Structure 1
């Protein structure tokens, strides 16, 4: 069969992370061995011997930082540290995640994660059963090909220029290789993890962009602030296809491994909450809700008196020209609109996948997501101070702290 148009997948490739998993990588070692066992049977089926080996490997002074973080993720449940962050191996991915200094490397990372997903689907699609990786619930050939095309197309759309300057080439393959640790042996968990990692990268990019916007706001340049807010909206819009990729997973396949992820929930996403607090500091009720109590570092940052974009807007809007007011209003509307669309789609996908089941983060599941669709990023803009709400001062600070 010829290679699907638009992909970089090669059936005989030996340098990609997915194929390295099958072959043990160019330099087989303890980490590669443990990783291969995880990709055959799932992390939850690792025996005590493998966990002890991981502890010893982590303690070895010769172990590099990427592999050390991999061992930390291997041991998260055994050491009662399991969370959304460890499930998605975000500390393994950290060297490639975007920063305020280099936001656009996030586009390259999303493209690399999607390419790896396409390679995994291609490799495990073989009819000769050569691959032993995540054997349960494999999709039919046509569905696998559909995923490959979707992943390749979305990656090219998100990063049309290919690898951008600033992404260090040397550790990339190791980071990608050791950053997927499914808890089960179910094929579709690989897809689930990679899509969530892409969204974490997207929200990290948005948070960095909005933090920069808040910094620029100190100089009072409305046009520059608006440009950054609009850029954050564009980033979220460009990632919208990730949901359609995730929707190729059936509810039955998701339910097959979902309960093994209990304790890991997107409610624990720090990047998503950072996007929120840079737009406006949350009301007291939300700040004291499980959404923020599950991200104590972000909550503490909100309580520290961070100056949000909504607070800047309320202070400065009376001094703007008509042109400045129009461009800021448009940018705020675009990001608000993109965020609302994302939440509605998230709610719809989750409803089809889990029905009335509770969320894995201790929430009421679908009802929690439905309630969240009512939240606005820039909620103080255009609102008058409620007489009964003493905690509200335009999103700037909290008098009750």
Structure 2
């Protein structure tokens, strides 16, 4: 990626491995290909952050737009040390520490001050989503907001790159399913129709508007702030959103398994069974998201992989929580003196859906990256193949 930026000049030309050409699938993002000139130059972000720091430091008025505009125009890995230093010094006024706006700013900052030394959590903005959950946001709201953003980003490039039709359709269908929208939103015109692109763009806009109307403003705001790609790649925007979606699902499943364990211990088998059934639906619902991911070009993923060293999904605490909590649930069921046939059936169904999800992930990885290493330096498809064989309840008869 580009070298550190000076506050006195704009971004340097993109290197050979940076996406170039028409914005859309396989190319740069719209923010990178058609940036506001002030977003290319770090001086606006530096100026607005300095003005905020010298004022009342009201977290609700932090200049997110200026910072994110620069990050998305040049890619996070190309942001210069001057900007990083300024952001590392950001601190809301002490009197506001307990306010939601200050909490959001504090949760968001790790995502933009990590430079090239970030980890999986800072790549996704995990602290922001953890706070959403603590504040009572439901998983469906988060998934709806994330998928709506994917649909909007993808449909915005269709006029330039009609090859993005397959991805936009897949994202629109996934959004329609998660948000419970009318099925017509998930189609647009029939493939090959004269106005296919225009009809799909119109259907996407209507679906996004309807979906966002059903999501609290705080969730929409959190999703808006947590897109800081390391590169200028259009595909990395989709990639980040997909990983954030899976993290939301993993978090929900982990909570469900832990709550089911508590319910079993209290003799509430019906409650435990309902919790596990809900978790199974969440896992099974990822099939639509995988269809979006299959549209990733190999070359685009190669650029992402080269720029995300140290940000591997193997660092996902939510994923580990699921796989570590299930043996505890099984042990609690075995120790309990209660009818558990229906509960064991629910456990098998979750196990089946979880393993199917992992096998799908493995298959997509083979298609996109083959035998090369994955993001963060993992063994890629070989690692996923081994992981796909691990059951949640291996001792379940």
**Which TM-score applies when normalising by structure 1?**
0.70
Shift of 1:213: 0.4
> Within 5 Å, which residues of 2 pair with 1:2-401?
30-58=63-91, 64-77=102-115, 80=117, 82-97=118-133, 102=136, 105-127=138-160, 140-143=161-164, 145-160=165-180, 169-280=216-327, 308-316=328-336, 319-321=337-339, 324-325=340-341, 327-382=342-397
Distance across 1 between alignment mates of 2:282 and 2:219 = 22
Distance change (3 Å), C-alpha of 1:209 and 1:194: same
Equivalent residue pairs, number? 311
Shift of 1:86: 0.5
Shift of 1:147: 2.4
Task: Report the secondary structure of 1:356's partner residue.
Answer: coil
Per-residue CA deviations over 1:122-181 (Å, capped at 9, x if unaligned) read: 234454xxxxxxxxxxxx2242x33233222212212317779997x3433331221011
Q: Does the aligned pair in 1 maintain the 2:120–2:310 contact within 8 Å?
A: yes
Task: Report the secondary structure of 2:90's partner residue.
Answer: helix
Shift of 1:267: 0.6
Q: Does the aligned pair in 2 maintain the 1:209–1:232 contact within 8 Å?
A: yes
Give 1 or 2: higher helix fraction.
Answer: 2
Distance change (3 Å), C-alpha of 1:173 and 1:333: closer
Distance change (3 Å), C-alpha of 1:75 and 1:309: same
Per-residue CA deviations over 1:300-348 (Å, capped at 9, x if unaligned) read: xxxxxxxx111012223xx444xx42x1232111111101100100111
Unaligned runs of 5+ in 2: 1-29, 40-59, 182-209
Distance across 2 between alignment mates of 1:76 and 1:160 = 37
Shift of 1:28: 9.0
**Which TM-score applies when normalising by structure 2?**
0.71
Q: Does the aligned pair in 2 maintain the 1:58–1:72 contact within 8 Å?
A: no
Shift of 1:88: 0.7
Shift of 1:362: 4.1
Unaligned runs of 5+ in 1: 1-17, 128-139, 281-307, 383-401
Q: Does the aligned pair in 2 maintain the 1:110–1:158 contact within 8 Å?
A: yes
Task: Report the secondary structure of 2:115's partner residue.
Answer: coil
Shift of 1:57: 2.9
